[in-house]
Amino acid sequence: MPIQQRLLLVIGAIFVFIFVTRNIKRSKILMTDAIFWVVLSAVLVIVAAFPEAVIWISGLLGFLSPSNFVFLAVVALLLVKEFSSSAQISVLSHKLEELAQQIALRDAADEERRRNEQQ
C-alpha cells in the first residue's frame, strides 16, 4: 500500500476516534453503540501500521491491489452495520408504537372511568 494511503488511513482513524469521544462527552452516543466505532478506528490504524497482513490476504484472494481489498472489506463491514442499524430501528419503532398505544388506551380508560363516576 502506498505511503500516502497509509497516512490517510491513520489520519482518518484518528479523526474518527476524536469525533466519537467528543460525542460521548456531549452525551450524544451510548457507550454500547460507540464501541463499534472505536474498535473500527483502532483496526484502521493497525491496517495502516502493519499492511503486510492485508497485502498477504489480498494476494491470497486474487485482488489486483491491497487498496481494492481494503475498500471492499470496509464496504462489506458498513453494509453489515447498516443492516443491524435497520434491525435496531425496526425494534425501536415497534416499541414506540406499543408505548403510544398503551398511553392512548390508558387515557381512554381514565376518561371512561371519569364519565362513569359523573353519571
Partner 1 sequence: MRILAVVPAYNEEECLKDTISHLVATCPSVDYVVINDGSADSTWDIVEREGFNGVCLPVNTGLTSAFRTGMKYALAHDYDAVIQFDADGQHDPAYIIPMAEEMERADADIVIGSRLVDGKTRIAGARGLGSRLISRLIALTTGTTITDPTSGMRMYNHAMIEMFADGFDVAPEPDTVALVARKGGTVVEVPVEMHERQGGESYLKLSSIIRYMSRTCLSILLFQWFR
Q: Which residues bind to partner 1, rule: CB under 8 A? A: 21, 24-25, 27, 30-32, 34-35, 38, 95, 98-99, 102
Decide whether 26 or 114 has the Cβ nearer to partner 1. 26
In whole angstroms, the minimum distance from the beta carbon of 81 to partner 1 comes to: 15
What is the distance between the alpha carbons of residues 52 and 66, in angstroms, rounded to a whole number?
Answer: 10
Quote the least distance from Cβ 33 to partner 1, whole Å: 10
Q: How far is the CB of 98 from partner 1 (least distance, A)?
A: 5
DSSP, res 25: H
Write phi, then psi, for 50 (nearest 5 degrees): -125, 75
- Helical (H) or strand (E) element with 26: none
Least gap, CB of 10 to partner 1 (angstroms): 18
Q: Which whole-number Å values give the CA distances from 114 to 103, 104, 106, 110, in the listed order?
A: 16, 15, 12, 6
**Residue (68 or 102) nearer to partner 1, CB:** 102
**Which of 72, 104 has the CB closer to partner 1?**
104
Instruction: Read off φ and ψ for residue 10, nearest 5 degrees.
Output: -65, -45
Residue 72 or 103: the one with the smaller Cβ distance to partner 1 is 103
Largest CA distance in the chain: 84
